[in-house]
Amino acid sequence: MEAIALPTLAPRVLSWENGKEVSVAGYRQLAEFRYRIRKFLHFSEEIARSKGIEPQQHQLLLAIKGLPRGAKPNLRTLSERLCLRHHSTVELVDRLEKHGAVMRRRGQPDHREVLVELTARGEELLHELSALIRQELRVTGPALSRSLQAALAHSVREGRSRNA
């Protein structure tokens, strides 16, 4: 098993074995960005639960509807988009199918392929959730964006100072 390199504490900088340094301010920026992401995700998760589905089920609905142009909503693609294993995606589809939000159909011309589509109920549910989430993004999005910009700017500054 490979040993994990632990930081050594310095007054203002944590130094890693590979020679790269991250300042305390850099960690604060990353922590703030992570906090803003988590706060938004928590809101999104709670909204999904309030509508009677689990957060990953909501993510599946969104993945189906929001696939890139030309992508097929098959289990492989959906698993990839959700960063899940095939069997986990199948379980999500099963639960949403019982909920009446999705349906399976056979691919054309390859009938072995299983495609997943939203039903009218799934479309309605996704629309309700998306409207609430977009409303929340209008409120919390600017702080999330600022935290990302600050983390990126800090990262660029630290990169320049290391290369100087």
**Whole-number pLDDT of residue 18:** 46
- Listed residue (117, 17, 46) closest to 77, CA to CA: 117
Which pLDDT tens digit goes with each residue over 113-155? 899 999 999 999 999 999 999 999 999 999 999 999 998 887 7
Name the pairing type of β-strands 114-118 and 102-106.
antiparallel
Rounded Cα distance, 9 and 95, in Å: 49
Which residues sit opposite 116 in a β-bridge? 104
Highest mean pLDDT among 2-6, 11-15, 106-110, 136-140: 136-140
Confidence of residue 1 (pLDDT cuts 50, 70, 90): very low
Instruction: Give the burial class of 12: count Cβ atoms within 10 A of its Cβ; 0-12 exposed, 13-18 middle, 19 or more buried.
Output: exposed
| Predicted structure pTM score | 0.79
User: Which tokens is 43 given?
Assistant: 């809101």
**pLDDT at res. 139:** 95
Q: Does domain 8-163 have CATH number 1.10.10.10?
A: yes
Taking only the tens place, the pLDDT of each residue in 41-100 is: 999 999 999 999 999 999 999 999 999 999 999 999 999 999 999 999 999 999 999 999
Any idea where the domains of the chain sit in the sequence? 8-163
Count CB-CB contacts under 10 A for residue 3: 6
pLDDT of residue 5: 52
